[in-house]
């Protein structure tokens, strides 16, 4: 992988373990991410694949103990995150990287007005006066489509979608270079999802931010992202631009994800879920982590861990099957 | 409700007027519905006013402390509405002045235990591990000593004065508050908004002050209100035992102690200060119960 100076974020060979009493949980097992300026990367995968852990590592907020960043480097805008002092790190959180959490109902403090919560970030990072912070908080609210007068209301007076707008306003208050959105719309209903995604896209362009969109919804990826990395059991199994991954799916797992989606024009068709469950991250299988569930698996998959190899352009995948000439996925049905 | 939905659906919808309801005005409207809480509150306000204007109502030197042996042990009459005590001092005047001392000692001591307790409790709850163990075990040791015994020890060590009473009763109240704050912090600290606060660059201090303590306010208010009643009782008990405030300073417990010898002949000397204590504590407890109901989100209808 080339370390491009223009990259906002480059992660190399990140390994994160949770050392629990039951054993070592291999949450992230060597992930590489390169994210250019103003680009959006989608991280797709099942629950427990290591998406959120990867995101928390960027902020160095992996709960410790039991979480340990075992290996790898994270370079954010030319700065090495993992060797930074804690106080330096605090000045980066919220100012250069912001994170939007999954559930807006619980990520706002219920006893403090929303305006005050936005103002708090401004006071923390920009040291502005109270009145200035309050004024900027109102402007931020207006920008996410909420009237400024509502700044003195409490989170319970807002609906779910409005709360997520407030969360976005807080995250963007200090104009970060990178926004990490951890399933920002999972807790919202579909109409609101569309509004919130539209708003995020619009603000991303307005602020010239890069964004990492963590989701398990391929629709959202198609809608908002430039590139996508598919994660399975803490490893990237396929990476490429949206067009490459969606049109020319290479990894059997990605294919399985697409096949799990209901097809609108054929109501008779049954859903084809991927059989089985994610392997226990405490005891990952030898070889490819996906082989127990893979319809194409052969002997070598049980023995040897496949590495990510690039094919045409930016498209890369980790699968042994491509060593067999003429191998093609059966395709979506 | 309708105007609220209007905003929720469309973002451009302009809402002309809206009633801003904060948590506290909501709690206040719930408390107003409870008659007993309001009775308690009104009595408390009257007592506080009496304490503030005690100087205006009675002449301290003449009515409260100067013996008037010609008029000792008078039964209630027009001149002395609640009679006089063994030294001929007016009982009503002394009760009025006693209100001031009782309330000052009670509120200051609760404030003292609140500040120390909230600090220790939130630090213990937030950091956990060794720090929590050390703080909580020390408060456990303090909690194992009976409150009054503890107050007696401190009052004896510091000498007889209002200040030492405040310290004695205040420190005796720390363990209970520390525990309550710690328990609330434990329930709050794992919530997403604390994590979000960290993700926005907050340090530990800022997270405790901005995110955790505001969420502990309801249980803190309730507990402190109820503790005020306990503190008044402790003040009177200490004074009754003769280790509180020195006579002749009028204090309800002192008055009870002074009237003890005349229980058979002049009951009014003990009856009225006793009633004052009962009424005050009843009022505070009624108010505290009402507050607890008003601030408990589970009881919202």
E strand or H helix that includes residue B62: none
DSSP B261: G
Q: In Å, how far is A150's CA from the nearest CA of chain B?
A: 9
Give yes or no for residue A250 having a pLDDT over 50.
yes
**Of the candidates B79, B48, B75, B107, the residue with the CA atom closest to the CA atom of residue B231:** B107
What is the arithmetic mean of pLDDT over B3-15?
A: 41
The answer to whether B210 contacts A109, with C-beta atoms less than 8 Å apart, is yes
**Cross-strand partners of B90:** B84
How far apart are alpha carbons A66 and A21 in whole angstroms? 9
Q: Of chain A residues 91-130, which have a CB less than 8 A from chain B?
A: 91-95, 98-99, 101-103, 106-113, 120-121, 124-125
Query: What pLDDT score does A332 carry?
Result: 58
| Per-residue pLDDT band at B21 (split at 50, 70, 90) | low
Q: Is the pLDDT of residue B4 over 50?
A: no
Q: Which residue is closest to A92 within chain B, CA to CA?
A: B201
pTM: 0.76
User: What pLDDT does B33 receive?
Assistant: 84
Cβ contacts of B23 on chain A, cutoff 8 Å: 111, 154
Residue B1 predicted with pLDDT over 50: no
| Chain B residues closer than 8 Å to A146 by CB | 11
**Sequence-separated (6 or more) residues with CB below 8 Å from residue B144:** none
State pLDDT tens for residues A22-59.
Answer: 888 888 888 898 898 888 999 998 888 888 889 899 98
Asked if the model's pLDDT at residue B112 lies above 90, the reply is yes
| H-helix or E-strand spanning residue B151 | helix B147-158
Task: Tell me the percentage of chain B whose pLDDT exceeds 70.
Answer: 90
User: How far is the C-alpha of A163 from the C-alpha of A4, rounded, in Å?
Assistant: 37
Across the interface, whether the CB atoms of B7 and A103 are under 8 A apart is answered no
Mean pLDDT of B286-298: 79
**B300 has a pLDDT exceeding 60:** no
Instruction: Give the pLDDT band of residue B204 (cuts 50, 70, 90).
Output: confident
pLDDT at B22 over 70: no
Asked if A112 and B214 come within 8 Å (Cβ–Cβ), the reply is yes
Q: Quick check: B299 pLDDT over 60? A: no
CA A148 to CA A138: how far, in whole Å? 4
Tokens matching residue A321: 């099957």
Mean pLDDT of the B122-133 span: 91
Which among A282, A56, A163 is positioned nearest to B7, based on CA atoms? Answer: A163
Tell which of A60, A85, A107 to mutate to test the B interface (max B CBs under 10 Å): A107
What's the pLDDT band for B16 if we cut at 50, 70, 90?
A: very low
Chain A residues with CB-CB distance to B26 below 8 A: none
Across A146-157, average pLDDT: 86
Which backbone phi and psi does B209 adopt, to 5 degrees? -75, -40
Q: How would residue B7 be classed by pLDDT, with cut points 50, 70 and 90?
A: very low
Give pLDDT, residue B298: 57
Tell me which residue of A310, A311, A306, A315 sits closest to A227, measured CA to CA: A315
Query: Which tops the pLDDT comparison, B17 or B187?
Result: B187
To the nearest whole percent, how much of chain B has pLDDT over 90?
21
Region of A77 (left: φ > 0; alpha: ψ -120 to 50; beta: rest) is left
Q: Please name the member of A92, A107, A171 whose beta carbon is closest to the beta carbon of B192.
A: A107
Q: Which of A264-278, B14-28, B108-122, B150-164 has the lowest mean pLDDT?
A: B14-28
Q: Tokens 């970060």 correspond to what residue?
A: A176
Q: Which candidate, A58, A67, A60, A64, places its Cα nearest to that of A86? A: A60
DSSP state of B63: I
Map chain A to HEC letters.
CCCCCCEEEEEEEEEEEEEECCEEEEEEEEEEEEEECCCEEEEECCCCCCHHHHHHHHCCCCCCCCEEEEEEEEEECCEEHHHCCHHHHHHHECCCEEEECCCCCCCCCCCCCHHHHHHHHHHHHHCCCHHHHHHHHHHHHHHCCCCHHHHHCCHHHCCHHHHHHHHHHHHHCCCCCEEEEECCCCCCCHHHHHHHHHHHHHHHHHHCCEEEEEECCHHHHHHHCCEEEEEECCEEEEEEEHHHHHHCCCCHHHHHHHHCCCCCCCCCCCCCCCCCCCCCCCCCCCCCCCHHHCCCCCHHHHHCCCCCEECCCCCEECCHHHHCCCCCCCCCC
> Per-residue confidence at B216, pLDDT binned at 50, 70, 90?
confident
Whether A181 contacts chain B with CB within 8 A: no
The backbone region for A23, taken as left when phi is positive above 0, alpha when psi lies in -120 to 50, beta otherwise, is: left
- Whether residue B230 is predicted with pLDDT greater than 80 in this model: the reply is yes
- Residue of A111, A158, A159 with shortest CB distance to B214: A111
Segment B136-143 shows an average pLDDT of 90
Q: Is B271 helix (H, G, I), strand (E, B) or coil?
A: helix
Which residues, in sequence order, are CB contacts of B74 under 8 Å at separation 6+?
Answer: B80, B83, B84, B88
How far apart are alpha carbons A36 and A1 in whole angstroms?
Answer: 13
What is the least distance, in Å, from the CA of B22 to any CA of chain A? 7
Which residue from A93, A95, A106 is facing B193, i.e. has the nearest CB? A106
- A133-140 long-range CB contacts below 8 Å, 24 or more apart? A136/A173, A137/A169, A137/A173, A140/A169, A140/A170, A140/A172, A140/A173
Q: Residue A22's pLDDT is what?
A: 85
Inter-residue contact B223 to B230 (CB < 8 Å): no
- Asked if the C-beta of A178 comes within 8 angstroms of chain B's C-beta atoms, the answer is no
CB contact under 8 A, A59 and B199: yes
Strand runs labelled E in B5-164 = none
**Complex ipTM > 0.85:** no
Task: Give phi and psi for A179, each to the nearest 5.
Answer: -115, 125
Taking CA–CA distances from A171, the nearest residue in chain B reads: B200
Predicted confidence (pLDDT) at residue A328 exceeds the cutoff of 80: no
Backbone φ and ψ for A317, nearest 5 degrees, come out as -150, 160
Checking if the pLDDT of B70 tops 90, the result is: no
- pLDDT for B263 beyond 70: yes
Whether pLDDT at A4 is above 70: no
How far is C-alpha A64 from the chain's CA centre? 20
Mean pLDDT (whole number) for B42-69: 84
Nearest Cα residue in chain B from A106: B192
Looking at chain B, which runs of residues are DSSP E strands?
none
What local confidence, expressed as pLDDT, does residue B13 receive? Answer: 38
In 3D, which of B247, B284, B260, B243 has the Cα closest to residue B98?
Answer: B247
Query: Cα distance from A170 to chain B (closest Cα, Å)?
Result: 8
Chain B residues with CB under 8 Å of a chain A CB are 4, 7-8, 11-12, 14-15, 18, 20-23, 191-193, 195-203, 206, 210-211, 214-215, 217
DSSP string, B189-243: HTSHHHHHHHHTT--HHHIIIIIIGGGGHHHHHHHHHHHHHHHHHHHHHHHHTTS
A297 to chain B nearest CA, in Å?
40
**Which residue out of B196, B197, B203, B216 would a mutagenesis test of the A interface target, given it has the greatest number of A Cβ atoms within 10 Å?**
B196
Q: How confident is the model at residue B123 (pLDDT cuts 50, 70, 90)?
A: very high
Q: Return the residue of B nearest to A162 by Cα.
A: B8
pLDDT, tens only, A178-208: 999 988 888 888 888 888 888 888 888 888 8
Spell out the residues 6+ positions from residue B14 whose beta carbon is closer than 8 angstroms to its own.
A147
> What average pLDDT does chain B have?
82
Nearest CA among B56, B103, B64 for reference residue B80 = B64
Q: What pLDDT, on the 0 to 100 scale, is given for residue A295?
A: 84
Q: What percent of chain A has pLDDT over 70?
A: 97
Q: Let me know how many helices (H) and strands (E) chain B has, helices first.
A: 13, 0
Alpha carbons within 13 angstroms on the beta-carbon side of residue B160 total 13
Is the predicted pLDDT of residue B182 greater than 50, yes or no? Answer: yes
Average pLDDT estimate for A78-100: 88
- pLDDT confidence bin for B293, thresholds 50/70/90: confident
* Smallest CA–CA distance from A158 into chain B, residue: B8
Instruction: Give pLDDT tens digits for B86-103.
Output: 788 888 888 998 898 889
Position with higher pLDDT, A165 vs B25: A165
């Amino acid at each position: 992988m080339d370390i491009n100076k223009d990259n906002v974020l480059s992660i190399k060979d990140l390994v994160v373990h949770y050392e629990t009493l039951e054993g070592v949980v291999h949450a992230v097992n060597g992930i590489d991410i390169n994210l250019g300026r103003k680009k959006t990367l989608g991280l797709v995968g099942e629950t427990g694949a290591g998406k959120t852990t990867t995101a928390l590592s960027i902020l160095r907020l992996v709960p410790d103990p039991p979480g340990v960043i075992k290996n790898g480097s994270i370079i954010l805008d030319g700065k090495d995150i993992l060797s930074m002092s804690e106080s330096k790190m605090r000045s980066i959180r919220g100012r250069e990287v912001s994170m939007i959490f999954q559930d807006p109902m619980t990520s706002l403090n219920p006893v403090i007005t929303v305006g005050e919560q936005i103002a708090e970030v401004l006071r923390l990072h920009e040291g502005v006066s109270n009145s200035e912070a309050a004024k900027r908080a109102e402007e931020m609210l207006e920008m996410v489509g909420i009237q400024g007068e509502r700044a003195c209301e409490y989170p319970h007076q807002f609906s779910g979608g409005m709360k997520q707008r407030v969360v976005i306003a807080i995250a963007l208050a200090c104009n970060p270079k990178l926004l990490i959105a951890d399933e920002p719309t999972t807790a919202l209903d579909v109409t609101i999802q569309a509004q919130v995604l539209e708003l995020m896209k619009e603000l991303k362009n307005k602020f010239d931010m890069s964004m990492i969109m963590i989701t398990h919804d391929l629709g959202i990826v198609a809608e908002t992202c430039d590139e996508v990395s598919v994660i399975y059991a803490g490893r990237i199994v396929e990476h490429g631009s949206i067009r490459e991954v969606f049109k020319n799916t290479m990894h059997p797992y990605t294919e399985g994800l697409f096949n799990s989606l209901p097809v609108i024009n054929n109501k008779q068709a049954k859903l084809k879920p991927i059989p089985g469950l994610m392997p226990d991250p405490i005891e990952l299988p030898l070889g490819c982590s996906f082989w127990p569930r893979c319809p194409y698996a052969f002997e070598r998959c049980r023995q040897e861990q496949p590495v990510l190899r690039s094919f045409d352009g930016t498209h890369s995948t980790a699968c042994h099957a491509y060593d067999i000439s003429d191998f093609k996925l059966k395709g979506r049905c | 409700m309708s105007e609220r939905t209007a905003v929720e659906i469309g973002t451009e919808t302009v809402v002309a007027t809206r009633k801003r309801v904060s948590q506290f005005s909501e709690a206040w409207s719930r408390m107003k519905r409870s008659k007993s809480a309001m009775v308690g509150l009104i009595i408390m306000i009257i007592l506080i006013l009496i304490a503030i204007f005690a100087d205006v109502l009675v002449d301290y030197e003449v009515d409260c402390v100067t013996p008037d042996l010609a008029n000792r042990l008078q039964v209630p009459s027009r001149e002395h509405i609640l009679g006089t005590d063994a030294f001929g001092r007016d009982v009503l005047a002394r009760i009025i002045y006693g209100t001031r001392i009782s309330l000052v000692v009670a509120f200051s001591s609760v404030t003292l235990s609140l500040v120390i307790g909230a600090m220790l409790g939130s630090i213990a709850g937030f950091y956990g591990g060794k720090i929590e163990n050390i703080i909580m075990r020390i408060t456990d040791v303090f909690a194992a000593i009976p409150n009054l015994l503890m107050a007696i020890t401190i009052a004896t060590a510091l000498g007889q004065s209002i200040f030492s009473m405040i310290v004695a009763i205040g420190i005796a109240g720390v363990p209970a508050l520390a525990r309550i704050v710690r328990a609330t912090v434990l329930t709050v600290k794992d919530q997403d908004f604390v994590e979000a606060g960290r993700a926005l660059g907050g340090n530990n201090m800022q997270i405790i002050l901005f995110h955790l303590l505001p969420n502990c306010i309801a249980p803190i208010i309730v507990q402190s209100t109820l503790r005020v009643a306990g503190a008044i009782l402790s003040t009177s008990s200490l004074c009754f035992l003769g280790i509180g405030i020195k006579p002749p300073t009028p204090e309800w417990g002192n008055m009870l102690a002074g009237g003890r010898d005349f229980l058979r002949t002049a009951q009014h000397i003990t009856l009225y200060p006793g009633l004052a204590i009962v009424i005050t504590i009843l009022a505070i407890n009624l108010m505290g119960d009402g507050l607890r109901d008003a601030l408990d989100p589970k009881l919202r209808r």
